[in-house]
A and B are shown apart, each in its own frame.
Chain A
Amino acid sequence: MSDDRPPAVELRRVTKAFGDRRVLDDVSFVVPAGRSLCLLGRSGTGKSVTLKHIVGLIAPDRGEVLVEGRDITRLSSRQLAPIRQRIGFLFQNAALFDSITVGENVAFPLRRHAALDEAALRARVRQLLDDVGLGGEDDTMPAELSGGMRKRAGLARAMALSPSILLVDEPSAGLDPVTSGEVDTLLAGLRAHAGTTLIVVTHNIDSARVLGDELVFLDQGRVLAQGPVEALDRSEVPLVREFLRAHGTG
C-alpha cells in the first residue's frame, strides 16, 4: 500500500542542553503516519524531553522537529495551536487539572476547540470515559482516582479531539502489571482501530514489544540503537542487550 503522506513525526539532528548538561545530542528518527515507535532507555536519558519537543513544549538548540511535514521549531504558541490540536499527550502522571472533575477534564479540550452543544459534548465525554473503562466517573475529582485510573482519564482527555498523533510518557510507570497491561491494550487498540500514530516513552520492554513497530534506544541523549524489536534483540551494543534482557520479563 503506497502512502504519500509525510511522516507523522520526524526529528532531524535535534540537540538540546539545559545549562551545561546536554540532554539530547544529535537525535534523529522518523515515525511514519499510523505507525508506532517506543523510546527506550534508562532514566534521565532524554526520553520525556524528546516527547516535549514533538509538541513544542521545548524548543531544540539545534536541529528540526517536523510534525506532519512542518517544522515546528520556530513557530509561536499561536501558530502551534492548530498543530497541537492534532496531537494528544498523555503525561507521565496524567497531569489532570486537579481543581475540576474527571468529566470536566475530558470536556476541557472539547469546550476549547470543538463546536459541540452541551448535550453532544456530554455524550462525547461519556463515550471517551467508557472507552477507557471509566464510565460513571464523570463527577469524580482526580485526587480520588487511583494511579491507573488517572492514567486512563488522562488518555481519555488526550484522545478527546481524536488526534492523529498520540504521545505517551511512561504508560506503565507506577502501575501493577495487570493495570499496565490494560493501558497497553487500550493504546494498541487506538492504533489498530483509529490509525493513530503512537510514540511511547517506556522503561517496560514488555510494553514496547506490544506497542512498538520500531524501538529507539536512547543513552545519554544519543540514539544508541534503532529498529524493530527483533533487531534490537540481536543488537551488538552491550547496554541495549543488557537492557532488553534485564527488562525482558517486565
Chain B
Amino acid sequence: MTSSFRIQCFKFMASLNDYLLVSGLLFSIGLFGVVLRRNIIIVFMCLELMLSAANLSLVAFSRFNTANGLPDYNGQMLVFFVITVAAAEVAVGLAIIVALYRSRQTIHTDELTSLKG
C-alpha cells in the first residue's frame, strides 16, 4: 500500500486518489478541531473546514468522471448549493452566538451547562 502511494506522489499529474486523500485529511483536521476546541466560534470555523473538504472531493469527482467529454457539472452544482447553504448557515449561526454571548457573557462550551443532567 505504501509503495503504491509513493509512486502516486511522484507522478506528473495528480490522480483522483491524491485529491481524495487530501480532502479526507482536511476533513479529519476539521473533525479534530470540533472535538478538541472549546471556543464555539472556532468550532464553527472547523465545521466550515469539514464542509469545504466535502466540496473538494465533489469537485474532484466532477473532474475525473467526464460526461460527454466535459467535467460532470452535476457535482459542481452540488458544490454551488453547499456553498450557498453554508453562507446562510454561518449568518444564522453567528447571530445565535451573539445572542448567546448577550445572555451568558461566555462562548466557551465548558461553561454552558444548563442542559447537563
| A complexed with B | no
List residues of B whose CB falls within 8 A of some A CB: none
List residues of A whose CB falls within 8 A of some B CB: none
